[in-house]
Structure 1
Amino acid sequence: MSSPSTVRTSGDYHADRRYEYARAAFEERDFEAAADLARQVLELAPNFVAAHAMLGRSLAELGGREEAVAALRQALSLEPKDALGVRLDLARLGALAPDEAITDGYVRALFDDYAPKFDQHLTKSLAYRGPELIADALRRACSKQIREHRFGQILDLGCGTGLMAQELAGFCAAIEGVDLSPRMLEKAERTELYDALHEGELVAFLSGRGTGEADLVVAADVLVYMAALDAVFREAHRVLNPKGLFAFTVQAHEGDGYILGDDARYAHGEPYLHRLADSLGFTPVVFEPVSTREDRGVPVPGFLVVLQR
């Protein structure tokens, strides 16, 4: 996925038209024309955030780092929630720490924009199979632990349109989901599989839940939008009852810690994940390399993990 495409109007018809020309030039990789048109837009509408972002991105492509950073910072000052994702551009230019690159505002805007085509694009174009892999891993984990493949309360983090609930339907007493995107939650609600749906950030959601209340916490392809995972691991451990399971997928990289990839997602290293699990007393039941999706036809490396409290 790219940055959110939805652009609010500048309030000036001529500026909006010129911005569309700038965007078309950028998509055709005519960055000089895009930068020139963005400047023309800003003469008409000096506070149009999208035009500042367009100017910064165009200048970055042309090698004008200093000017690019200034334009992007102006965009961010006008819209601190960063629905357009300019923090990612600043991080790529080395002007912002990688772990500050992705905000809740960006993720919300990204998935609100993506919601209408999410299921078909993800499963068909990207060959996404995160929920299917997690469901299979949970079956294997239960078999290894000689326990019934059935759960009481499930908490689905970053539930999206409900693909994970579809895989777990019939294997739980209750399932609740949380997501930043109201449009994704609207689609999840239509599945009629959730006992409750919550709009919000996942760590804050977990922090508001009771200690030991859940049998299972799942996070399918959502931790890729988080840098440090300490807080989510800690809260998942707290809300799980004894022997409860935490199942998730992440993108992988060969080193330690985490990195911000060119695909605007974070990748996490195996030593980092093991260290976090060990520090909280989680026991790995399943920990294996997988690919949950493709990028331009190439499998993206990741990890499939099931931890037991």
Structure 2
Amino acid sequence: MSSPSTVRSSGDFLADRRYEYARGAFDERDFAAAADLARQVLELAPGFAAAHAMLGRSLAELGERKDAVDALRRALSLEPEDALGVRLDLARLGALTPDEAITDGYVRALFDDYAPKFDRHLTRNLAYRGPALIADALRRAFSRQGRDFRFGLTLDLGCGTGLMAQELAGICTGIEGVDLSPRMLEKAERTKLYDALHEGELVAFLSGRQTGEADLVVAADVFVYMAALDAVFREAHRVLKPAGLFAFTVQAHEGDGYILGEDARYAHGESYLRRLADREGFALAFFERVSTREDRGVPVPGFLVVLQR
């Protein structure tokens, strides 16, 4: 996925039309033309954040870093929630730290835009199988322990359209989901698999839950949009019952800590994940190298993790 494609109008028909020309030039990699057209847009609509972002991105491609950063910062000041994903550009230019690159506003806009084609694109174009891998790992973990494969309350973090709930259908007495995107939640609602759906940020959602109320917390390919995972691990441990499970996938990073990749997703290191698990009091039930999706036909390396409280 790229930056959200939906852009609000500038309020000036001619400016909007020239902005579309600028976007077309950018897509064709004619960055000089895109920058020139973006400047023309801003003469007509100086407060149009998308045009400032277009100018900044075009200048960055042309190697004009200082002017690019100035234009991008102007765009961010006009739309501080950053639905345009400008913080990612600033981070790539070294003007923001990687931790600051992805905001809730960007993720919400990205997935609201993506919702209509989400399931089809993931499964057909990206060969996505994160929820299926998590469900299979949970089955194997239960088989090793000789336990019946059943859960009480399950919390689905970043539930999206409900793909994880479909994999867990019939084995949870109750499942609740949380997501930033209202359009994704609309699609999840149509599955009729959730007892409740919540719009919001996942750490805040977990923080509002009762201690020791859940049997399972799952997060399928959600942490690729989060840098530090300390608060998630802490709150997941708190809301789980004794012997409850926390299962998730991440993109793999071969070093320590986490990095912001060229694909605008965070990747996390094995030692970082193991250290967090140990610090919060989790036991490691499962840790495997997997690929949950493809990028241009190439498997993206990742980790599949199941932790036990």
TM-score range (shorter-chain normalised) is over 0.9
Q: Provide Cα deviations, 1:132-175, integer angstroms capped at 9, x if missing partner.
A: 00000000011122211000000000000000000000101000
Match of 1:184 in 2: 184
Q: Secondary structure at the match of 1:120?
A: helix
What pairs up with 1:291-306 in 2 under 5 angstroms? 291-306=291-306
Give the whole-Å Cα distance in 2 for the aligned partners of 1:55 and 1:33: 10
State the SS of the aligned residue for 1:209. coil
CA distance in 1, matches of 2:144, 2:224: 27
2:289 partner amino acid: P
Query: How far apart, CA to CA, are the structure 2 residues paired with 1:219 and 1:131?
Result: 9
Aligned equivalents of 1:169, 1:194: Cα separation in 2: 9
Deviations 1:77-110 (A, max 9, x none): 0010000000000000000000000000000000
- 1:83 maps to 83
Residue identity matched to 2:203? V
In the alignment, is residue 44 of structure 1 matched against residue 47 of structure 2?
A: no
Equivalent residue letter for 1:126: L
Unpaired stretches in structure 1, ≥5 consecutive residues:
none
Q: 2: distance between equivalents of 1:247 and 1:308? A: 9
1:112 corresponds to: 112
Counterpart CA distance in 1 for 2:305 and 2:146 is: 18
TM-score, normalised to structure 2's length? 1.00
The separation in 2 between residues aligned to 1:198 and 1:48, in whole angstroms, is: 32
1:18 is the counterpart of 2:18: yes
Counterpart of 1:170 in structure 2 is 170
1:54-93 matches, cutoff 5 A = 54-93=54-93
Looking at structure 1, the residues matched to 142 and 169 of structure 2 have their Cα atoms a distance apart, in angstroms, of 16
Give how far 1:8 is off. Answer: 0.2
Output the amino acid matched with 1:94: G
CA deviation after TM superposition for structure 1 residue 55, in Å:
0.2
AA paired with 2:204? Answer: A
Task: Give the equivalent residue in structure 2 for 1:7.
Answer: 7
| Equivalent in the alignment of 1:142 | 142
d(CA) in 2 for partners of 1:168, 1:229: 24
Tell me the equivalent position of 1:227: 227
- 1:146 is aligned with what amino acid? G
Q: What is the percentage of aligned positions where both structures have the same residue?
A: 86
Which amino acid counterpart does residue 194 of structure 1 have in structure 2? Answer: Y
Counterpart of 2:218 in 1: which secondary structure?
strand
Q: How many residues align?
A: 309
Aligned position for 1:127:
127
Q: Deviations along 1:33-89, whole A, 9 cap, x unmatched? A: 000000000000000000000000000000000000000000000010000000000
State the AA in 1 paired with 2:136.
D
Distance 1:178 1:255 in 2: 30
* Structure 1 Cα separation of the partners of residues 280 and 204 of structure 2: 19
CA distance in 1, matches of 2:228, 2:147: 32
Cα distance in 2 for partners of 1:284, 1:224 equals: 21
- Give the match for residue 161 of structure 1: 161
AA in 2 matched with 1:230? D
Counterpart secondary structure, 2:289: strand
SS in 1 for 2:4: coil
